[in-house]
Chain A
Amino acid sequence: MWDYSQAVHDHFLHPHNAGPLKDANAVGEVGSLACGDALRLYLKISDGGIIEKAGFETFGCASAIASSSVLTDMVIGMHVDDALKLTNKDIVERLGGLPREKMHCSVMGQEALEAAIRNWRGEPPVPHAQEIGRLVCKCFGVTDAQIIRTIRENNLKTVEEVTDYTKAGGGCGECLDTIAEILAVELGKKSEEALQAKAKPALTNVQRMQAVMKLIAQKVTPGLSAGESVELVDVDGLRVTLAVQSAKQEALRSSLEALFRETIEDGIVVEVK
């Protein structure tokens, strides 16, 4: 049995703003019968962009119904610009948490809200082509764009988590490798960003050494030809000493220096032993 929070129980058993809204001027729909959950969100938005009323119809489990209900509570009184900033995490927080496997219910709420506001603005129901992205999960119709957004907003680290949050990969499982690739790219970006963010302020000698070693392993070594090698000998302040095996030793040295200066720290000097 799922361990639902009291808020999920309350919203499920006594949903707020349930049912269609007669004077709605914005409707957003996500999900499908095949998926096992679907949400139709109704909004009444004033000319000034304030969400005055909200209603919903949901087909799905307790957490889908509770996510819809709490979402309507959250958006009433909000300006659409602020509403668009809401993420699924905000929904989860208001519900006092959701079981990991049910996170996709909160994502559905966020997507319906976005769809409804697009509808009110007279925009097509889904963003234009590049934003829709490539279809990754055929079973549940999830694109790479949705997966990437969910990874970033929820700081996801494993394929399993991606499935919990988006459902992608939860059917036949054929796309699990693709999800792993997307995740690897996202996580790679993140570690690079982290590296750069750290590199800006002055580094300690140990940090600098770690950054150099990581860069050599990830970026330098894979690009070397047969017979070439680059190894770290020592780091002393901004002086980085390397052991380099290459026919074009000087060219390699200067390109490494440029790379280290760009990604780790300005002022690094590379010496070859």
Chain B
Amino acid sequence: MQTVYLDNNATSAIAPEVREAMLPYFSELYGNPSSMYSFGGLVGKKVAEAREQVAALFHAEPSEIVFTSCGSESDNTAIWSALTTQPEKRHIITSCVEHPAILNVAEYWAHQGYRVTRLAVDEQGRLDLDAYASALTPDTALVTVMFANNETGNLFPIARMAEMAKAKGILFHTDAVQAAGKIDLDLTRLPVDMLSLSGHKLHAPKGIGVLYVRKGVIFRPFLRGGHQERGRRAGTENVPYIVGLGVAAQSALEHMQEEQTRVAALRDRLERGLLASIPQSRVNGDPEHRLPNTSNISFKNVEGEAILLRLDQLGICASSGSACTSGSLEPSHVLRAMNVPFNYAHGSVRLSLSRYTTDAEIDYVLKELPPVIASLRKLSPFKD
């Protein structure tokens, strides 16, 4: 049975060119980039090249790139740095639909006595910019709002929000883990101070991330020790993964246009097809401002885990915001924040595509998914 992988917002396939580029650094090229001899220096040059490749993805400068172990480390570091370098400011602004890597860290700082504003969203998952404007105060140390939502794919107006924070001298961080590599992020025009990226969302392996820190932003390291990353992140460089991420960033840049056109078209065809063939289904999110690869669809009166396990039998990989898949007993915090009705929230399925998704795979899902919903609905006591 073929595997149809439509869960790229969870993690993505390692690109073959990424894997190839990494392999020598697991075997003969094991030198430490900090060493004085050329055997290490050679490796150091490769790390520098990867830094340039990643910087190019954002139109940033290589010196602004800090390699970390994952998106969560980048998020933790950004918040830590912003708060500890401005101890007199005691207020954080974020949104209620962030990833746990932000929400739970904000919660931690709230316990330390910080005031946390969690911006609400409307039924399409959009932020209220007026509420945001009035939340910005002289006491605000940091605004941290995601660039794109992992569940719905919604894009937030980060350029405008960062502009508004900048005007008041407030630091702005964005978790761009879902956006990086999928849409153009031009940091010469996007006035954010810090940005998080995670390698495994853009066809690099798990275990590598980036924190972009704009030149001039006062920074305090989260992980202390050696001088690596210009003293901003201690620990011997994860050379193979850094090299892999460099290549992944370059590939992402090369495929950016395709992501906007071919992948978006596949997503739209999938979404339209499902909405047309499955009655009582709806799209969750903001159709106008979304990632090109993500579709979050709810099917009324069926439960997400049951859908996923039936799809699994067919080789289709997807995820759900249903309570049962998380073990938390309540549907996803994102769908709840959007006031998605219960009979839809439990039956939500997220399909996230990549540049490896094919036409045939979309055809297969369009053929197989509707009977799954129909058969589960037949089993459901709720019918209307």
Interface residues of A (CB under 8 A from B): 2, 12-13, 15, 18-19, 29, 33-34, 36-40, 57-62, 64-65, 101-102, 139-140, 163, 167, 170-171
Q: Complex: how many Å from CA A29 to CA B382? A: 12
Q: Complex: how many Å from CA A130 to CA B176? A: 54
- A contact residues around B301 at 8 Å (CB): 33, 59
Q: How far, in Å, is A216 (CB) from chain B's closest CB?
A: 39
Closest residue of chain B to A57 (Cβ to Cβ) is: B381
Residues B275-306 near A (CB distance < 8 A):
301-306
A-B contact count (CB 8 A): 74
Judge whether A36 and B346 touch: CB under 8 Å: yes
Judge whether B381 and A19 touch: CB under 8 Å: no
- B contact residues around A139 at 8 Å (CB): 330
Per a CB cutoff under 8 Å, which of A34, A60, A170 touches B342?
A: A34
13 residue pairs from A and B, CB less than 8 Å apart? A18-B378, A19-B378, A29-B381, A33-B342, A36-B323, A36-B330, A57-B379, A59-B346, A61-B324, A62-B305, A64-B324, A65-B306, A101-B327
Interface residues of B (CB under 8 A from A): 301-306, 309-310, 313, 322-325, 327-331, 342-343, 346, 378-382
Judge whether A60 and B306 touch: CB under 8 Å: yes
Judge whether B342 and A59 touch: CB under 8 Å: no
Which of B303, B304, B382 is most buried by chain A, counting CB atoms within 10 A of its CB?
B303
Which of B310, B330, B381 is most buried by chain A, counting CB atoms within 10 A of its CB?
B381
Judge whether B379 and A58 touch: CB under 8 Å: yes
Judge whether A61 and B380 touch: CB under 8 Å: no
The interface residues of chain A, by DSSP majority, are classed as mixed
Q: How far, in Å, is A41 (CB) from chain B's closest CB?
A: 10
- B contact residues around A29 at 8 Å (CB): 381
Q: Complex: how many Å from CA A163 to CA B382? A: 25
Per a CB cutoff under 8 Å, which of A33, A37, A170 touches B328?
A: A170
- A contact residues around B306 at 8 Å (CB): 12, 60-62, 65
Q: How far, in Å, is A11 (CB) from chain B's closest CB?
A: 12
- A contact residues around B330 at 8 Å (CB): 36, 139, 170-171
Using A33-B301, A36-B324, A37-B303 as known contacts, list a sample of 19 further A-B pairs with CB atoms less than 8 Å apart, ordered by residue number in A. Answer: A12-B309, A13-B310, A15-B379, A18-B378, A18-B379, A33-B342, A33-B343, A36-B331, A57-B379, A58-B379, A61-B306, A61-B322, A61-B324, A62-B309, A65-B306, A163-B329, A167-B329, A170-B328, A171-B330
Judge whether A33 and B382 touch: CB under 8 Å: yes
Q: Complex: how many Å from CA A241 to CA B306? A: 65
6 cross-chain pairs, A with B, having the tightest CB-CB distances, nearest first = A170-B329, A61-B324, A61-B305, A57-B381, A40-B381, A36-B323
- A contact residues around B313 at 8 Å (CB): 13
- B contact residues around A167 at 8 Å (CB): 329
> Known contacts being A13-B313, A59-B303, A140-B329, is A36 close to B322, with CB within 8 Å?
yes
Q: How far, in Å, is A80 (CB) from chain B's closest CB?
A: 22
- B contact residues around A38 at 8 Å (CB): 381-382
Q: Complex: how many Å from CA A10 to CA B329? A: 24
Q: How far, in Å, is B34 (CB) from chain A's closest CB?
A: 41
Q: Complex: how many Å from CA A64 to CA B342? A: 17
Judge whether A36 and B329 touch: CB under 8 Å: yes
Per a CB cutoff under 8 Å, which of B322, B324, B379 touches A19?
A: B379
Q: How far, in Å, is B337 (CB) from chain A's closest CB?
A: 14
- B contact residues around A60 at 8 Å (CB): 303, 306, 324
Q: Complex: how many Å from CA A21 to CA B310? A: 25
Closest residue of chain B to A59 (Cβ to Cβ) is: B380
- A contact residues around B382 at 8 Å (CB): 33, 38, 59
- A contact residues around B343 at 8 Å (CB): 33
- B contact residues around A15 at 8 Å (CB): 379
- A contact residues around B378 at 8 Å (CB): 18-19
Q: Complex: how many Å from CA A102 to CA B306? A: 13
Q: Complex: how many Å from CA A239 to CA B309? A: 66
Closest residue of chain B to A37 (Cβ to Cβ) is: B303
Q: Complex: how many Å from CA A2 to CA B308? A: 12
- B contact residues around A13 at 8 Å (CB): 310, 313
Closest residue of chain A to B380 (Cβ to Cβ) is: A59
Judge whether B305 and A59 touch: CB under 8 Å: no
Q: Complex: how many Å from CA A19 to CA B380? A: 8
Q: How far, in Å, is B240 (CB) from chain A's closest CB?
A: 28
Q: Complex: how many Å from CA A19 to CA B325? A: 24
Q: Complex: how many Å from CA A64 to CA B322? A: 14
> Known contacts being A13-B313, A171-B330, is A39 close to B322, with CB within 8 Å?
no
> Known contacts being A13-B313, A19-B378, A36-B324, is A61 close to B303, with CB within 8 Å?
yes
Q: Complex: how many Å from CA A170 to CA B331? A: 11
Judge whether B329 and A171 touch: CB under 8 Å: yes
Q: How far, in Å, is A179 (CB) from chain B's closest CB?
A: 14
Closest residue of chain A to B320 (Cβ to Cβ) is: A61
Q: Complex: how many Å from CA A29 to CA B303? A: 17
Q: Complex: how many Å from CA A102 to CA B322? A: 14
Judge whether B346 and A33 touch: CB under 8 Å: yes
Closest residue of chain B to A34 (Cβ to Cβ) is: B342
Q: Complex: how many Å from CA A33 to CA B331? A: 11
Judge whether B309 and A58 touch: CB under 8 Å: no
Which of B301, B306, B378 is most buried by chain A, counting CB atoms within 10 A of its CB?
B306
- A contact residues around B323 at 8 Å (CB): 36
- B contact residues around A2 at 8 Å (CB): 305
Q: Complex: how many Å from CA A16 to CA B327? A: 26
Which of B322, B325, B327 is most buried by chain A, counting CB atoms within 10 A of its CB?
B327
Q: How far, in Å, is B189 (CB) from chain A's closest CB?
A: 41
